[in-house]
Amino acid sequence: MLINTDEISAIDQELNTKQPKQIIKYALDKFDNIAISFSGAEDVVLIDLALKAKKDIHVFSLDTGRLHPETYAFIETVRKHYNIDIELVSPKAELLEPFVKEKGLFSFFEDGHTECCGVRKIEPLKRKLSTAQAWITGQRKDQSPGTRQSIPVFQQDTAFKGIDEALYKFNPLANWSSEDVWNYIKMFDVPYNPLHQTGFISIGCQPCTRPVLPNQHEREGRWWWENEGGKECGLHATNIISKS
Amino acid sequence: MLINTDEISAIDQELNTKQPKQIIKYALDKFDNIAISFSGAEDVVLIDLALKAKKDIHVFSLDTGRLHPETYAFIETVRKHYNIDIELVSPKAELLEPFVKEKGLFSFFEDGHTECCGVRKIEPLKRKLSTAQAWITGQRKDQSPGTRQSIPVFQQDTAFKGIDEALYKFNPLANWSSEDVWNYIKMFDVPYNPLHQTGFISIGCQPCTRPVLPNQHEREGRWWWENEGGKECGLHATNIISKS
Amino acid sequence: MLINTDEISAIDQELNTKQPKQIIKYALDKFDNIAISFSGAEDVVLIDLALKAKKDIHVFSLDTGRLHPETYAFIETVRKHYNIDIELVSPKAELLEPFVKEKGLFSFFEDGHTECCGVRKIEPLKRKLSTAQAWITGQRKDQSPGTRQSIPVFQQDTAFKGIDEALYKFNPLANWSSEDVWNYIKMFDVPYNPLHQTGFISIGCQPCTRPVLPNQHEREGRWWWENEGGKECGLHATNIISKS
Amino acid sequence: MLINTDEISAIDQELNTKQPKQIIKYALDKFDNIAISFSGAEDVVLIDLALKAKKDIHVFSLDTGRLHPETYAFIETVRKHYNIDIELVSPKAELLEPFVKEKGLFSFFEDGHTECCGVRKIEPLKRKLSTAQAWITGQRKDQSPGTRQSIPVFQQDTAFKGIDEALYKFNPLANWSSEDVWNYIKMFDVPYNPLHQTGFISIGCQPCTRPVLPNQHEREGRWWWENEGGKECGLHATNIISKS
């Protein structure tokens, strides 16, 4: 399915005033082959919302091999709670082994997280998305002061290619705040990662995530040794591209 | 020193537009015998501010015997960082022993925190305040939806008696938000309780404090098994009285 | 009741070949007013054994105000599991307050644990023992290479005075090894302090106890910044006296 | 290099009376292409000993993707401390992904650890060993009551194939006790996994390892939900084969 730029704008504009639940329903109706990306954090609400719209959904997570033990346990909790499959995409041994042999397990603290994210997140994601027409993410405008302020609800994903070459991306939570997400979690008794009970807001790989102090922005808990404002792992590369 | 109701109102009104630093300076100038109450949490900014106004300050904490190990360590950190004495007021063995023998160490989960706070916090505080003319606390309006919304900057403390019978109370942070406090802590490299790095916002006794989830109000981490809205240990009983 | 030295030796010699259960039964039969000392660690087996011999026992612990949160919780677990009173003896505020005001909360790291143990353990123990004829402890020969190798099963406690001036002391576990104690705990499903699951063997006050590495002696986890060989808090001062 | 059964026995018998350091020296001299297996636990002494015998050693670990964060950090500590490369062998994405999609991340608790160990440990090890003539392991007789009591110092590894088909295996610590290993670590200030400070003795994958209580055997901390006596992941399959 190919959607031209004008149509994309029109769809985005229309969905932009809708609730996440309606956006997800639209997405699941429009594309047969659409995957929901689940990070092991508060984007669990995507799964909860999607299952209210459709029984048979397709969920995947990136298992970088460096997630917190609590996150692995939480992914299993979600799998059992909703009785769904969760596809865990893993890095390729043939890329990971030479990288780690040369640079060790914590090179990101020395020369930045791009190389490690490339092997552990981007290659597996690319591989995964190449089998789909579209994907659904938990991105929100309020998550990152530098890179996520103008996230659309619907867009073409120019950073990756799908099964039909073009790939589309829905961000149903774009206009929700962190508070909206947590109100939803509490109201509907959605299971959540227990790390959220120990000061973690944003959750990614274990060595690259830390709890934040009261009143700190959640993004201060990610890649804190690097510059402010451009903290993206590359999953959502269009955010960075669109800024230039 | 006896201050009549009209004067109290006038002082409060005047101080209400001032910055915490000015309020503390006023307090330390007005009363020779004035004690700063330090809870082991973010009210450490009171100490930092007070030392900018006066070298010789008088700080006390309530050592209930049930604080977190991290809080005991933090109190010591503060003592050494600022090179000050911190008076730790302890419960009386003759009150504590029969109470614990009869009811065990966790009776508050069954019949409320009032009795335990009475023995471990209120009696020691009463004893301590009976030797002072006035005290300074870290109370803020934004701390408690139910009980702290109308905290004045200056007031008579009608719940306790001072050395001259009447006792006065300053709340220099009344108009600051949690964000203001944390901006101050970060800007001036004020030491903070490491529990704040693991999801704790409000910090009291170990069994009666817990971390809060993202976007939860800090007071949800205190006496969470009891009703909302009236969560005070009795230190600031005037907050509750003034509501009736 | 006054027991002369020869009798003491004879009783000790007779009991020395008996099992802990028989020793405890003897002790509880011989003295009406006899207290069992419970530290919140593996000496919980004393309570388990005593209740098999007699329904109405008298148990106390020293609540120094600095125990681990896990130990407070464990003491409550024991209280409820066996449905017994546990008397918690606390330090006197009038001794504790000036000590902590002058030296802070961690003076033991600088000038040794004697002063702090004096205020938080010895004075309360002395007060408690002055109301009893005899006491039962969990001391074992294998606990301390320097001070406990010749612990008798029965002895006069010359370090403290009882209600009748003379005070007697039973150490029913003297000849048991750590392994014996743990076999008992596992065989009879005796509740144990959860700290034992995180590397702690010997458990005392939180700042003065730490887990030990595999194959380290348990006493290396106590007052580790001080010299080997004399690690006693004074509860069992006769151990040190008897060495000179 | 092909060594016949009689020679193997003779070498084993000779080395059996030697110290680990001599055994390792012999191994490194005899085989050019010999790899040291490092699990991230106390077998770090193998690395320490090997570097005393030869500058240029070849070390590898199995990165199952489920190690403790502390173990990843420790592997990096060892890499930097000794300034050596550590090759981390990873599971193949094409084996891991279908297994996890079908059974989730914790299937071992339901149908045993064999399948997960197969994908995460055995296949990568097999791949790794197929490039070597011989390997050196940290196995000890005292580690496992059921499976390791008759570990030789030198043996043919019939469970795996090496670069020349036949594969040989040295177990230089076979005759050392846990106490010997820890005495060595402390005497030579060898870095150790910080998990050993929290009650862990044996350390493997995070979900399948737990601390043990005082006086429990270290193997009780591994795959505790399965039967006693046969706790091997398959790395040392000859131990199980040789029992039948």
Residue B232 pLDDT greater than 90, yes or no? no
**Residue B187 and residue B190: Cα distance in Å, rounded?**
8
Which H/E stretch holds residue A79? helix A69-82
Task: Report the domain count for chain D.
Answer: 1
Structure confidence at residue B229 (pLDDT): 59
Residue D225 pLDDT greater than 80, yes or no? yes
Cβ-defined contact of C42 to D198 (cutoff 8 Å): no
Band the pLDDT of D196: cuts 50, 70, 90. very high
Catalytic residue numbers of A read 233
Band the pLDDT of D11: cuts 50, 70, 90. very high
Cβ-defined contact of D124 to A93 (cutoff 8 Å): yes
In the predicted model, what is the mean pLDDT of residues D199-221?
92
**Residue B159 and residue C157: Cα distance in Å, rounded?**
48
What is the pTM for the complete model shown?
Answer: 0.92
**Residue D84 and residue D51: Cα distance in Å, rounded?**
10
Structure confidence at residue A150 (pLDDT): 87
Verify C-A touch: 3 or more CB pairs within 8 A. no
Number of other residues whose CB lies within 10 A of the CB of residue C34? 23
Structure confidence at residue B233 (pLDDT): 77
Which of C69, C88, C101 has its CB closest to that of B97? C88
**Residue B108 and residue B126: Cα distance in Å, rounded?**
21
List residues in chain B touching A: CB distance below 8 A. 42, 178-179, 182-183, 186, 192, 196-201, 211, 213-216, 218
Task: With H, G, I as helix, E, B as strand and everything else as coil, classify residue C238.
Answer: helix
In the predicted model, what is the mean pLDDT of residues D135-161?
90
Structure confidence at residue C243 (pLDDT): 40
Which H/E stretch holds residue D45? helix D44-53
In the predicted model, what is the mean pLDDT of residues B194-208?
95
Query: Among this protein's residues, is C233 annotated catalytic?
Result: yes
At D180-190, the pLDDT tens digits run: 999 999 999 99
All residues at 6 or more sequence positions from B96 whose CB lies less than 8 Å from its CB, including other chains: B65, B119, B120, C88, C90
Cβ-defined contact of B178 to A211 (cutoff 8 Å): no
CA angle A143–A146–A148, rounded 5-degree value: 45
CB D202 within 8 A of CB D101: no
Of the listed ranges A75-89, A107-121, A137-151, B72-86, the one predicted with least confidence: A137-151
CB D105 within 8 A of CB A90: no
Q: Do β-strands D34-37 and B154-156 pair in parallel, antiparallel, or remain unpaired?
A: unpaired
Cβ-defined contact of B86 to C101 (cutoff 8 Å): yes
Task: Give D111→chain A minimum CA distance, Å.
Answer: 16
Which H/E stretch holds residue A81? helix A69-82
Sheet strands side by side (includes C154-156): C86-89, C59-62, C34-37, C134-136, C168-170, C154-156
Among C53, C60, C91, C64, CA closest to C78: C60
Residue B149 pLDDT greater than 70, yes or no? yes
CA closest to B205 among chain C residues? C69
Rounded to the nearest integer, the mean pLDDT of chain B is 93
CB C202 within 8 A of CB C222: yes
Fill in the DSSP letter of residue A122.
I
Most B CBs within 10 Å: which of A183, A195, A213, A220, as the mutation test of the B interface?
A: A213
Q: Which residues of chain C have pLDDT under 70?
A: 228-230, 240-244
Rounded to the nearest integer, the mean pLDDT of chain A is 93
Band the pLDDT of B52: cuts 50, 70, 90. very high
Which of C178, C179, C199 has its CB closest to that of D197? C199
Structure confidence at residue A126 (pLDDT): 98
Q: State the burial class of residue D2 (Cβ atoms within 10 Å of its Cβ: 0-12, 13-18, 19+).
A: exposed
Structure confidence at residue C143 (pLDDT): 87
Structure confidence at residue D223 (pLDDT): 85
CA angle C11–C15–C20, rounded 5-degree value: 140
The 3-class SS string of chain B reads CCCCHHHHHHHHHHHCCCCHHHHHHHHHHHCCCEEEECCCCCCHHHHHHHHHHCCCCCEEEECCCCCCHHHHHHHHHHHHHHCCCEEEECCCHHHHHHHHHHHCCCCHHHHCCHHHHHHHHHHHHHHHHCCCCEEECCCCHHHCCCCCCCCCCEEECCCCCECEEECEEECCCCCCCHHHHHHHHHHCCCCCCHHHHHCCCCCCCHHHECCCCCCCCHHHHECCCCCCCCCCCCCCHHHHHCCC
CA angle B124–B173–B154, rounded 5-degree value: 70
**Residue C116 and residue C120: Cα distance in Å, rounded?**
6
Cβ-defined contact of B105 to C75 (cutoff 8 Å): yes
Residue D1 pLDDT greater than 80, yes or no? no
Cβ-defined contact of A100 to D63 (cutoff 8 Å): yes
Range of the domain at D112: 5-241
Structure confidence at residue C228 (pLDDT): 61
Among D205, D199, D243, CA closest to D222: D205
**Residue D12 and residue D2: Cα distance in Å, rounded?**
15
Tokens of C18: 């008996």
- Check residues D244 and D242 and name the one with the higher pLDDT: D242
Structure confidence at residue A144 (pLDDT): 77
CB D148 within 8 A of CB D231: no
- Check residues C149 and A243 and name the one with the higher pLDDT: C149
The percentage of chain A sitting over the pLDDT mark of 90, rounded to a whole number, equals 83
Task: With H, G, I as helix, E, B as strand and everything else as coil, classify residue A173.
Answer: coil
**Residue B170 and residue B36: Cα distance in Å, rounded?**
9
Task: Give A182→chain D minimum CA distance, Å.
Answer: 26
Structure confidence at residue C198 (pLDDT): 94
CA closest to A59 among chain D residues? D101
Structure confidence at residue B237 (pLDDT): 75
Among B103, B26, B66, CA closest to B204: B66
Tokens of A33: 């082959």
Structure confidence at residue A229 (pLDDT): 59
Residue D28 pLDDT greater than 80, yes or no? yes
Q: Which residue has the tokens 């896990």?
A: C70
Cβ-defined contact of C211 to D201 (cutoff 8 Å): no
Residue B169 pLDDT greater than 50, yes or no? yes
Task: Give A59→chain B minimum CA distance, Å.
Answer: 25
Report the amino acid identity of residue A38.
F
Among A111, A97, A13, A74, CA closest to A203: A74
CB C211 within 8 A of CB D198: yes
Band the pLDDT of A228: cuts 50, 70, 90. low
Which of A75, A93, A104 has its CB closest to that of D91? A93
Residue C81 is part of a domain; what is its CATH number? 3.40.50.620
CA closest to C199 among chain D residues? D199
**Residue B165 and residue C200: Cα distance in Å, rounded?**
50
Most C CBs within 10 Å: which of B64, B80, B100, B101, as the mutation test of the C interface?
A: B100
Q: Which of B231-240, D36-45, D233-242 has the highest mean pLDDT?
A: D36-45
CB D197 within 8 A of CB C213: yes
Tokens of B171: 């709340």
